[in-house]
Structure 1
Amino acid sequence: MPIAFLVAPEGVEQVELTEPWQAAVDAGHTPRLLSTRPGRVQAFDHLDKADTFEIDQVVAEAAPDEYEALVLPGGVANPDFLRMDPDAVSFARGFFQAGKPVAAICHALWLLVEADVVRGRTLTSWPSLQTDIRNAGGTWVDAQVQVCRDGPATLVTSRRPDDLKAFCDAFLTEFATAASG
């Protein structure tokens, strides 16, 4: 089964999409790009427009059981748009309900806060989200990568683009473990 990469129509941090995507491809997975609208998404390099990417599926027409795992790239605007979309929130929550692994980097944790799935979990993110995470019942730590196996779904989180290598290694390990077990 493929891995879902969920992004908003604009605002995803390009490197947080492309590096995990390539890592998934290199590991033999089939990534698919989902968004809230059909067409193309506009990626960013911080605040500057970068490349655009073709959407494979609209999230309103997707279900977690079609995918083996979920990757949530960051960017400041990306998760802010996603957390305002009920279909995106429901889709992300569905992976936790199904016990499927999820990986989120940087600001992507905002979507998981909105989905109410961080409660009781220890995770990391871009530092400015630590109050949001604590207010949602999670425990925030300043770590390059954090793997939380509490509950039925494993959650892999990371802070920033500088942590991408560790993030990719961790989520690929956890996705392989989930697939074999």
Structure 2
Amino acid sequence: MASPRIEGAKVAVLATNGFEQSELEQPVAALTAAGATVHVIAPKGPEIQGWEHHDKGRSTAVDLELAKAKAGDYDALMLPGGVINPDALRLEKKAIAFIGEFVKAGKPIGAICHGPWTLIDAGGVEGKTMTSWPSLETDLKNAGAKWVDKEVVVDQGLVTSRKPDDIPAFCKKLIEEIAEGRHAAAA
């Protein structure tokens, strides 16, 4: 079966310095190839610094600064990992509010590796079955999630994966969820 097309869909990718290179670049490429318009959004521009595991990677252009971004302009959100990136975003009130708007609206959200950390602060994990990098298991459980160790997990539009090796499965499921559209909004 061919992958769904998501022409006309607008996807926000929220990241900052310290994102894991492959976890941003590969999903952006897959979403774009499926027909979506993708914007990299960050607290500050014009670029953010990526990492390849423990080494500095390439910089990525920021399409829109967070202060100017509106969640209502997007159909879905993608949160790449990297240890530094989500740790820094958790301290950005505007980032947490932006993520929270997607949660409340029931819009598809993809979070990989350490990306789910930001969902804790945005109220997006309670009652959800999800996965992540193993070191987040306790944090996610303490926030009310059911954590499982699987390549990709989907729960009402929330797509999560553990690590860069999971990116192909992550991208496939995220595109499927975007094609499905909104799910039941959070209470």
Q: How far off its partner does 1:2 sit?
A: 1.7
**Structure 1 unpaired stretches of 5+:** none
Percent sequence identity over matched residues?
Answer: 45
Find the aligned partners of 2:18 and 2:172 in 1 and give their Cα distance.
Answer: 24
Q: Is the 8 A contact 2:103 2:123 kept in 1?
A: no
The residue aligned with 1:178 is 181
Which amino acid counterpart does residue 160 of structure 1 have in structure 2? Answer: K
Aligned residues between the structures: 174
Q: Deviations over 1:91-112 (max 9, x none)?
A: 0010011121100000001100
The residue aligned with 2:64 is 57
2:170 aligns with one of 167, 170, 173: 167
Q: How far off its partner does 1:135 sit?
A: 0.6
The residue aligned with 1:7 is 15
Q: Deviations over 1:132-171 (max 9, x none)?
A: 001101110000000001xxxx100000000000000000
- TM-score (structure 1 length as normaliser): 0.94
Q: State the 4+ residue runs in structure 1 displaced beyond 2 angstroms.
A: none
Q: How far off its partner does 1:54 sit?
A: 1.1
Find the aligned partners of 2:54 and 2:64 in 1 and give their Cα distance.
Answer: 26
Which amino acid counterpart does residue 83 of structure 2 have in structure 1? Answer: V
Q: How far off its partner does 1:38 sit?
A: 2.0
The residue aligned with 1:106 is 113
- TM-score (structure 2 length as normaliser): 0.91
Q: Is the 8 A contact 1:4 1:67 kept in 2?
A: yes
Higher helix proportion (structure 1 or 2): 1
Find the aligned partners of 2:61 and 2:30 in 1 and give their Cα distance.
Answer: 19
Which amino acid counterpart does residue 177 of structure 1 have in structure 2? Answer: E
Q: Is the 8 A contact 2:129 2:145 kept in 1?
A: yes
